[in-house]
Amino acid sequence: MDYLEITGPTKLHGNVKISGAKNAALPLIAMTLLANNTVKIGNMPSVVDIKTLLKLIENLGGTFSFKDENTVEINTCCLTNTKATYEIVKTMRASILVLGPLLSRFGHCEVSLPGGCAIGQRPIDLHLKALEQMGAKITIHAGYVQAEAPDGLKGAHIIFDKITVTGTANVIMAAALAKGKTTITNAAREPEVVQLCEVLKNSGVSIEGIGTAELAIYGTDRRLVDIDPFDVIPDRIEAGTYLCAAGISDSTVTLENVRPDHLEAVTGKLEEMGFTFDITENTMTIHPTDTIKSVNIVTQEYPGFPTDMQAQFLALATQAHGTSTIEERLFENRFMHVSELQRLGADIKLSGHTATVIGPSQLSGTDVMATDLRASSAMVIAANIAEGVTQVHRIYHLDRGYENLEKKLGDLGAKIERLRE
Ligand code: UD1
């Protein structure tokens, strides 16, 4: 198993190119199940989660080929199979994204239940309830969701009790081939959902309310759509992670290929902490501050502060002067990185869903474990300013979602090496 060895403290400097967003690319790959042509997608991040979903497409009978490292062509015209098996789904929960498109295209499918997850229960009840409202008959049998709609799905009025990102994406894709109009109230407004809507709209599916919590989708009644080539939007979470890596190490770093407008909640909190920015349409430079100020954060759905940036800000708060609080509202168990940051010397107290951080703390290198994808990047950020050598183990989490992390950080001046246990 690979691990990262990081020697600190080091300052970072220079430019880093942000990759395509994993969480945008996943629904967009699932969306190719609605296409009657070969779909060319650029700015595809080269990370394990993407390969996992492409493998699932292949298992279903689709084909894909990479034109270069970040450009893939996917063809699902001749799909032969509508069963997404446990072997794949258990490795990546987002595989559930094939449920909506498979069901709307074929009128039946089977998708394994994703099972437990390190950061919380993460049920899919809202996905299933919405599809049932659209006319699907759903049964859970032997660990699989078995869904049927022999006459196709029908438009419906879906009201999500809770905002769900992949739930919204699943219903949008189901609605795209359904008969009639589907409306979604309390839809997720994440930029990744917006891109899914825009690509479908450009392909002839009429969608109103894009970017709002009220969507209306006019289905094609099972007519597959022609999807033009497009590029995946930049990864706002990867971008935010590099901003935290720069902030914690008093560094000036420029992000390239970024969408600053997708990062406003993150830059807002960094500004409260004292950092300053130079921003253009697609670049951001972060400058250090003499004193990092403490901050209070509550995670929320977009456009609020993203839960996927919570761990990285927790690492950053260890160097803020005073008491910071970070409240996690989305996932009940997303604080496993706290005990690992404590091993590095952080002063953090956990009470219910709130972490209280007292800073600044002198961090010292030691062995730590990556516990989930974003928690892993928090370890790397903290290790870069810890005195001495830190070994970050179980980095397969990182490989799921960060393209060339050690190369990008190494190019910025970090002393980081991938080694084998
Ligand atoms: C997506 C992101 C993930 C991010 C999360 C929240 C992808 C591939 N993953 O995950 O990185 O952390 O959004 O921004 O885009 N819920 C239910 N029932 C459901 C669905 C969700 O109770 O049927 C709950 C969840 O347990 C959670 C909340 O709703 O508490 C939000 O979850 P959701 O937005 O669905 O997260 P994901 O789409 O899985």
Measured in Å, residue 166 CA sits from the centre of ligand 1 at 6
CA-nearest residue for atom 9, ligand 1, is: 23
CA distance 37 to 358: 55
Q: Is 151 in the pocket of ligand 1 (CB under 6 A)?
A: no
Cβ–ligand 1 contact at 308 (below 6 Å) = yes
pLDDT confidence band for 80 (50 / 70 / 90): confident
pLDDT of residue 117: 62
212 pLDDT above the threshold of 90: yes
Q: Which residue in the block uniquely carries the two structure tokens 């659209």? A: 134
Question: HEC states along 307-356?
Answer: HHHHHHHHHHHCCCEEEEEEECCCCCCCCCHHHHHHHCCCEEEEECCEEE
From the CA of 156, how far away is ligand 1's center (Å)?
22
pTM of the model: 0.97
- Confidence (pLDDT) at 407: 97
In sequence order, what are the beta bridge partners of 65?
73
Q: Is the dihedral of CA 13, 387, 392, 286 positive or negative?
A: negative
Residue 329 has which token pair?
A: 């509202």
Q: Which of 140, 165, 238, 300 to mutate to test the pocket of ligand 1 (most atoms within 8 A of CB)?
A: 165
Q: pLDDT (tens digit, 9 = 90+) per residue, 288-316? A: 999 999 999 999 999 999 999 999 999 99
Quick one: pLDDT at residue 122? 80
| 193: number of Cβ within 10 Å | 23
DSSP lists the bridge partners of residue 18 as none
Q: Tell me the pLDDT tens digit for each residue of 27-60.
A: 999 999 999 999 999 999 999 999 999 999 999 9
Separation between Cα atoms, residue 246 and residue 285, nearest integer Å? 10
Q: Whose CA is nearest to atom 32 of ligand 1?
A: 164
Task: Tell me how far apart the alpha carbons of residues 267 and 328 are, in angstroms, rounded to a whole number.
Answer: 18
Q: What is the DSSP string of 165-200?
A: HHHHHHHHHHHHTSBSEEEEES----HHHHHHHHHH
Task: Using alpha carbons only, give the angle 165, 168, 171 rounded to the nearest 5 degrees.
Answer: 150
DSSP state of 43: S
Parallel, antiparallel, or unpaired: how do β-strands 71-75 and 39-42 relate? antiparallel
Percent of the chain past pLDDT 70, that is, above it, reads: 98
Q: Which of 77, 109, 117, 197 is catalytic?
A: 117
CB 310 within 8 A of CB 336: no
A 10 A CB-CB count for 145 gives 24
Paired tokens of 173: 């894709």
| pLDDT tens profile 345-387 | 999 999 999 999 999 999 999 999 988 899 999 999 999 999 9
Structure tokens at 361: 């703390």
What residue's CA is closest to ligand 1, atom 4? 308
Cα-to-centroid distance, 343 and ligand 1 (Å) = 29
Token pair of 212 as six digits:
């709002």
Distance (Å) from CA 360 to ligand 1 centroid: 32
Q: What is the pLDDT of residues 108-165, one digit of tens each?
A: 999 999 866 666 678 899 999 999 999 999 999 999 999 999 999 999 999 999 999 9
Is any atom of ligand 1 closer than 6 Å to the C-beta of 127? Answer: yes
Neighbour order of strands in the sheet with 230-231 = 63-68, 71-75, 39-42, 230-231
What sign has the CA pseudo-torsion 12, 319, 284, 331? positive
For residue 275, the CA-to-ligand 1 centroid distance in Å is 30
In short, whether 94's Cβ falls inside 6 Å of ligand 1 is: yes
pLDDT of the residue at 115: 67
The model's pLDDT over 397-415, given as tens digits with 9 standing for 90+, comes to: 999 999 999 999 999 999 9
Rounded distance between C-alpha atoms, residue 111 and residue 133, angstroms: 18
